[in-house]
Structure 1
Amino acid sequence: MKDWLMKKWVVISIAIFCSILWGSAFPVLKLSYEEMQMAADDVMAKIVFAGMRFLMAGLILLISMLVIKRSALKVTKRQLLFLTIFGLVQTALQYFFFYNGLANTSGMQGAIIVSSGTFFTIIIAHFFYKDDRLNLGKTIGLVAGFTGIIVANWGQEFEMTFQFTGEGYMILAALTGAIGTIMAKELAVGIHPFALTGWQLTIGSALMLLIGVPQMQENAITFTPFGWGLLIYSALVSSVAFALWYSILKYYKAGVISMFKFVTPVSGAILSAWLIPGEYLTMNIIGALVLVAVGIIAVNIHLPKRN
């Protein structure tokens, strides 16, 4: 498997595929909220729904590993401690913000705003790695990217709108995701990437369910056949995309493969406009997508150093 992951075209294909899967999550989740009649302000319903999704995703990976490579599931006490912390940050905390934030923003806005995680990763990597410092290209990219995220929040009359439990939560979800990316690269030494993903999803989702189930109101979620289908698809998105992403992250710089995350906001916005009633690609959304895409690409362009 390592030989395949060292091939450039394979890595690019995997990165783009993962980004499209993540982009599809935005309209799918918005449709899930509508289908299952979850109130936008029902925090516990979102926590339980997210917990169910990621528990399913984690178990899919762990059961697959039992069949494919059982020995890879074994972890030391130190690794178990890391996996618990990682599950808390990368699953429980990130998706608490993500699920509740997306309920209070459009699918297109959410897709664009959460792409700031790429820029946060670049900034954090600057302080962690001597060979991954900020340069002119990255600085230009950061400015373009964050400008695009600001533009995404302008209304048709270019009036700035901001809701902390909406856009604010999406930014916090992006920040915790960036921290998780660095954690995975630095601390997941000796853990198989599929096992890493399976354990962190399972542990993180278990924490969400322990908190959410006792406090959730009766009939807060109405399950339907279509709703179950959306939930299962979401679980598959998580298990497949995260496992593949962490596989390539082990062999490439976080900043390098993050370039291809420009596909996530683009695919997320296009799919949201296609699938969600009432959402359309406006000029400000298209402009924001262009700025974010340029920003993500620019931060990964290696400009030649001056003599």
Structure 2
Amino acid sequence: MRNIFKEKWGAILIAIFCSVLWGSAFPVLKISYEELDMAPDDVVAKIVFAGMRFLLAGVVILFCLFFYNKRKLFVTKKQFLFLVLFGAVQTGLQYFFFYNGLAKVSGMQGSILQSSGIFFVILLAHFFYQNDRITLNKIFGLIAGFAGIIFANWGQELQLSFHVTGEGYMILAALTSAIGTIMAKELAVDIHPFALTGWQLTIGAALMLIIGLPNLQEEAIVFTPLGWGLLIYSVFLSAAAFGLWYSILKFNKAGEISMFKFITPVSGTMLSAIFIPGENVNVYIIGALTLITLGIIAVNYKVERNKDINKGHLNSSLKGRRNSL
């Protein structure tokens, strides 16, 4: 399995799969809110629902890792302190913003606003990694992507508007996600990716439930058979996507691999249009996705071009050595 995560083709396929899974979360959560009869302004209910989802996902991953290689479950005291902080940021804080922000924006709008996390990763990677600096192509990609985010927001509202607890929360969720990505890449060096995923989901979820359960009102969440099915799918989504994502992140550059998260708003938008009544793909969404696509092409083109240049330098160097011989 490790070779698949290190191979470029394997990392790309896994990154695409994870991004599609995360994209499906937008319509699933929007439908869940309706099905479970959660009020849009009920912050506590959403914290508890998120806590249930991530606690189950974390336990599933840790349970599987126990049978696969239980020695990987154990961490040092220093690593555990990191996991507590990581769980609080990546699971607790991120999904507090995500769940409550998504309740006040459309599924399409939320999927694209969340993609701003990709740009935050690129910006942060510039300061953390010498081989992942910002270039002119990346600047163009950032401008195109942010223009797409603004265009989608404008199109959905039909006016320039911004609500802290709606659009603002979605952007804060993206920022905390980016911080979590750098934390996972920089500080979780000796922790198995599945142990990292399982512990951070479990710890973050436990914090959410400790805060939320004592304040949960009666019948704030009303489960139905469909509601349970959506929760189970959400558990699978989290366990699979996070586990695989941290596995490829361990062996690949954060800036490069995070660019594939642009697939998330595309899949989220399309799935929202299919499954959520009243949401349709309009000219604003198409324009936004076009701009975002230009952004990812620009950044990835720089990566591929560098490879070609490096290959050319290597061939020239080898040719020069042969001639000198």
Q: 2:189·2:250 contact (CA, 8 Å) conserved in 1?
A: no
Q: 2 CA distance for matches of 1:256 and 1:122?
A: 8
Q: How far did residue 155 of structure 1 move?
A: 3.5
Q: Deviations over 1:174-221 (max 9, x none)?
A: 000000000000100210000000000000000000000001111100
With 236-245 and 8-17 compared, the bigger mean Cα shift is at 8-17
Q: Indicate the residue corresponding to 1:117 in structure 2.
A: 117
Q: Indicate the residue corresponding to 1:173 in structure 2.
A: 173
Q: 1 CA distance for matches of 2:215 and 2:143?
A: 42
Q: Indicate the residue corresponding to 1:11 in structure 2.
A: 11
Q: 1 CA distance for matches of 2:296 and 2:172?
A: 19
Please state if 1:189 is matched with 2:192: no
Q: Quote the sequence identity (%).
A: 68
Q: 2 CA distance for matches of 1:297 and 1:161?
A: 29
Please state if 1:290 is matched with 2:290: yes
Q: 1 CA distance for matches of 2:285 and 2:80?
A: 42
> Runs ≥4 in structure 1, deviation > 3 angstroms?
155-158
Q: 2 CA distance for matches of 1:102 and 1:183?
A: 25
Q: Which has the higher helix share?
A: 2
Q: Indicate the residue corresponding to 1:20 in structure 2.
A: 20
3-state secondary structure, aligned to 1:280: coil
Q: How far did residue 156 of structure 1 move?
A: 6.5
Please state if 1:95 is matched with 2:95: yes
Q: 1:155·1:161 contact (CA, 8 Å) conserved in 2?
A: no
Q: Deviations over 1:218-260 (max 9, x none)?
A: 1100000100000010011000000000000011000111121
For 2:243, the aligned partner's letter is A
Q: 1:140·1:298 contact (CA, 8 Å) conserved in 2?
A: yes
- TM-score, reference length from structure 2: 0.92
Q: Indicate the residue corresponding to 2:224 in structure 1.
A: 224
3-state secondary structure, aligned to 1:286: helix
Q: 1 CA distance for matches of 2:189 and 2:267?
A: 32
Q: 2 CA distance for matches of 1:266 and 1:11?
A: 19
Larger Rg: 2
Q: Indicate the residue corresponding to 1:132 in structure 2.
A: 132
Equivalence map 1:150-161=2 (5 Å): 150-155=150-155, 158-161=158-161
For 2:236, the aligned partner's letter is L
Give the RMSD, CA atoms, in angstroms: 1.2
Q: Indicate the residue corresponding to 1:105 in structure 2.
A: 105
Q: Indicate the residue corresponding to 2:164 in structure 1.
A: 164
3-state secondary structure, aligned to 1:69: helix
Q: How far did residue 291 of structure 1 move?
A: 1.1
Q: 2 CA distance for matches of 1:293 and 1:59?
A: 36
- TM-score, reference length from structure 1: 0.97
Q: 2 CA distance for matches of 1:127 and 1:211?
A: 34
Q: 2 CA distance for matches of 1:44 and 1:216?
A: 6
For 2:136, the aligned partner's letter is L
Q: 1 CA distance for matches of 2:299 and 2:218?
A: 47
Q: 1 CA distance for matches of 2:151 and 2:232?
A: 33
Q: 2:26·2:272 contact (CA, 8 Å) conserved in 1?
A: yes
Q: 1 CA distance for matches of 2:233 and 2:37?
A: 18
Q: Deviations over 1:104-163 (max 9, x none)?
A: 000000000000100100001111111111001100000000010000111468411211
Please state if 1:272 is matched with 2:272: yes
